[in-house]
């Protein structure tokens, strides 16, 4: 039998070949075990195919909510026409805000009460907080309601989500759906400072302005 030294080129080549085979087997095993993990490919292996580009079409349910949209608009389809748009025109929203109940001692351009008596802030539209509001179709658009001043009401956004496109819902039920929070005059001052940079009182409030 031929005796080979460990330093023999034949022995070294065989050892290298065995080592390479073992490394390849180990790499294949790791790749199989971690197929769902973000493990980088072993050196020398082919790069994985690139992921397909994201679809240019975003599912409707993932679209962000647009401030001031009506609840029935979000869940019951878009639409409307030039003569009767689904969303209220700006001029209608302005007059709708002006017909809402005033908050004593506060600037009516910034603060109002919705149809249920909840205090709402002009700058907070379409958000889920207790001071946020929507311009709501009294008769839902999906049920034939028009985008007119007569069919518009300022409504706390939380209540509007509960109302949706329902027509058979009582005032007491809507009040129970309201988000309640205790807001002090100082809290209202801080909100105005953050949103407008100053604090304005109602003309008949007798208070001072914080500039």
Provide the domain count of the chain: 1
Residue at 127 is within a domain: yes
Nearest residue to 71 (alpha-carbon basis) of 141, 8, 13: 141
Residue at 107 is within a domain: yes
94: pLDDT strictly greater than 90: yes
Q: What is the largest CA-CA distance in the chain?
A: 115
Give this prediction's pTM.
0.59
Rounded distance, CA 54 to CA 176, Å? 43
Residue at 163 is within a domain: yes
Measure Cα distances from 138 to 16, 144, 152, 202 in Å.
81, 11, 6, 29
In this structure, of 94-98, 170-174, 193-197, 199-203, the range with the lowest mean pLDDT score is: 199-203
Residue at 209 is within a domain: no
pLDDT per residue as tens digits for the range 173-189: 999 999 998 999 999 99
pLDDT per residue as tens digits for the range 22-38: 444 444 443 343 334 34
Q: How distant is the alpha carbon of residue 166 from its chain centre? A: 23
pLDDT, greater one: 203 or 198: 198
Residue at 195 is within a domain: no
Q: Name the β-bridge partners of 210.
A: 199
Residue at 28 is within a domain: no
Residue at 7 is within a domain: no
3-state SS record for 175-202: HHHCCCCCCCHHHHHHHHHHHHCCECEC
| Average pLDDT of every residue of the chain | 74
Task: Give 84-137 as a DSSP string.
Answer: SBSSPPHHHHHHHHHHSEEPTTB-TTTEEE-TTS-EEETT-BS-SSTT-EEEEE
Q: What is the mean pLDDT of residues 107-113?
A: 98
Residue 70: its pLDDT value, please? 47
93: pLDDT strictly greater than 70: yes
Residue at 93 is within a domain: yes
Using DSSP's 3-state secondary structure scheme, residue 156 falls into strand
Residue 37: its pLDDT value, please? 38
Rounded distance, CA 171 to CA 3, Å? 101
User: What's the domain range around 145?
Assistant: 65-181
């Amino acid at each position: 039998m031929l005796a080979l030294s460990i330093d023999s080129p034949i022995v070294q080549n065989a050892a290298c070949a065995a080592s390479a085979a073992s490394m390849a087997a180990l790499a294949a095993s790791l790749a199989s075990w971690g197929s769902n993990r973000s493990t980088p490919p072993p050196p020398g292996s082919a790069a994985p195919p690139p992921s397909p580009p994201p679809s240019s079409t975003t599912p409707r349910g993932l679209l962000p909510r647009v401030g001031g949209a009506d609840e029935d608009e979000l869940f019951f389809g878009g639409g409307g026409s030039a003569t009767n748009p689904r969303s209220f025109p700006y001029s209608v929203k302005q007059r709708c805000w002006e017909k809402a109940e005033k908050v004593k001692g506060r600037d009516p351009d910034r603060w109002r009460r919705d149809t249920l008596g909840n205090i709402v802030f002009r700058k907070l539209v379409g958000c889920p907080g207790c001071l946020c509001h929507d311009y709501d179709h009294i008769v839902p658009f999906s049920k034939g309601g028009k985008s007119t001043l007569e069919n518009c009401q300022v409504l706390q956004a939380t209540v509007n989500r509960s109302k949706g496109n329902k027509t058979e819902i009582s005032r007491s039920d809507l009040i129970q759906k309201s988000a309640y929070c205790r807001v002090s005059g100082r809290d209202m001052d801080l909100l105005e400072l953050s949103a407008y940079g100053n604090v304005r009182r109602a003309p008949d409030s007798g208070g001072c302005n914080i500039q």
